[in-house]
Amino acid sequence: MGAISATTEKDVDKFVETNIRLTLDLWGWCAANAVRLIYASSAATYGDGSAGFSDEQSPAALGVLRPLNAYGWSKHVVDRRVIDDVARGRATPPQWAGLKFFNVYGPNETHKGFMQSLVSKIFPVVKAGETVTLFKSHDPNYPDGGQQRDFIYVKDCVAVVRWLLRHPETSGLFNVGTGTARSFLDLVRAVCAAVGCTPNIRFIDTPDELRAQYQYFTCADITKLRRAGFDALFYSLEDGVRDCLSK
């Protein structure tokens, strides 16, 4: 589950060493020693979403995805190598799962700095009664704050991993999201409701270094996960934020 997760990191060698090479070394060791492997992929592999958000895992389906940054690319390289091994009948771990996590939030994130979730970032701001800053929309199809993400509570991610551990017969690439897209405005309102205050929001331009690779919409297609047998309900955004901030 460990990786360089900074979407703004430009040193591709770091991604190759930490995200790609280390993961594939673990993959090879697990295959050789009959050890199960569950690893973190990412929704960043879907790029701008123009190819959809289906976790169909054929080489052809993966071949059309175009990640927008080096982080997403590094996760995609691993997924494609794993599926190539599977398709060619090479040795694999007895159970394997690549989990394409969408926008995960939860407690104890402050050590991640800039890469912590928006829930973690804005909670102290809201609690102090200060103004929350959100990026303006530079796409006419979305109002300011109307950019949408599939926000998933970390407890739900843990539930998926635990389910996989109980079902060693299940392998594959799986989206891990709620299947519902919500806006950043919805998220700010959920945090404010949990704190008990009125939203106070200011919009700023998206930085140039992020604008070209900015995703305006993500939403997990969880059909495959449900078909595999995972039937637990996910936290709503409001319930997940309330639970998270009560910790």
Chain centre to alpha carbon of residue 117: 10
What per-residue confidence (pLDDT) applies to 211? 85
The Cβ of residue 205 has, within 10 Å, a number of other Cβ atoms equal to 9
Dist CA 42 CA 44 (whole Å): 5
Q: What confidence score (pLDDT) does residue 176 get?
A: 98
Examine the residue annotation and report whether 71 is marked as an active-site residue of this protein: yes
In the predicted model, what is the mean pLDDT of residues 122-133?
97
- Identify which has the larger pLDDT, 213 or 90: 90
Which residues neighbour 194 within 8 Å (Cβ) at sequence distance 6 or greater?
Answer: 241, 242, 245, 246
46, 71, 105, 153: the catalytic one is 71
The model's pTM: 0.95
Lowest mean pLDDT among 19-23, 37-41, 54-58, 114-118: 114-118
- pLDDT digit string, tens, across residues 147-192: 999 999 999 999 999 999 999 999 999 999 999 999 999 999 999 9
Domains, the chain, ranges and CATH?
12-245 (3.40.50.720)
Residue 215: pLDDT band with limits 50, 70, 90 = confident
Is 14 annotated in the active site?
no
176 contacts 44 by C-beta, under 8 angstroms = no
Question: Which residues of 16-171 form beta strands (DSSP E)?
Answer: 37-42, 96-101, 103-105, 132-135, 148-149, 151-153
